[in-house]
Amino acid sequence: MVCFDCLPDGICRNERTALVSDKALSNPEFIRDLRSFAYGLKISSYHWHDVLCDLYRDYPGCIINESGKEVFLDMHVFEVPSIRDWFRDFCCTPVPATITPYVRGEARERVRILATILKASYPQDARMWGVRAANDNMRDAC
């Protein structure tokens, strides 16, 4: 919901989502969690592009970079001929436990934008992507 002071602008300057970082994109557990979340949304590869555009359009806040400045996402990265195949492979397929997921160089910005939009739209779900608990209570067996 947009606050009264921001209503004329159409977005709330107090609601912010940080652009997904290179560090997150390099974290296999972040990518695993992102892909699992996307898969759990059960969106067809034919509809992912429209869903992302709608989520971005409807986000009431702003996306900020690492220095805190507002940035606009370049949605053109999803306007390629084989995008449905990419959505099928990245968002509509679970990651097997035996596979270490990674992001190919040519898909890096695409994944950054996908992850940022999902993080902005589902902040409670996204806050633990890539985070794993350290188990310091394990002791060596004698």
pLDDT digits (tens, 9 = 90+) for 76-127: 999 999 999 999 999 999 999 999 999 999 999 999 999 999 999 999 999 9
pLDDT for the residue 51: 98
Side chain identity at residue 84, one-letter code = R
pLDDT digits (tens, 9 = 90+) for 8-58: 556 566 789 999 999 999 999 999 999 999 999 999 999 999 999 999 999
Q: How many CB atoms lie within 10 A of CB 61?
A: 17
What whole-number distance in Å separates Cα of residue 65 and Cα of residue 81?
Answer: 29
pLDDT for the residue 134: 74
pLDDT for the residue 124: 95
- Residue in this structure with the two tokens 């350290």, named with its chain if needed: 134
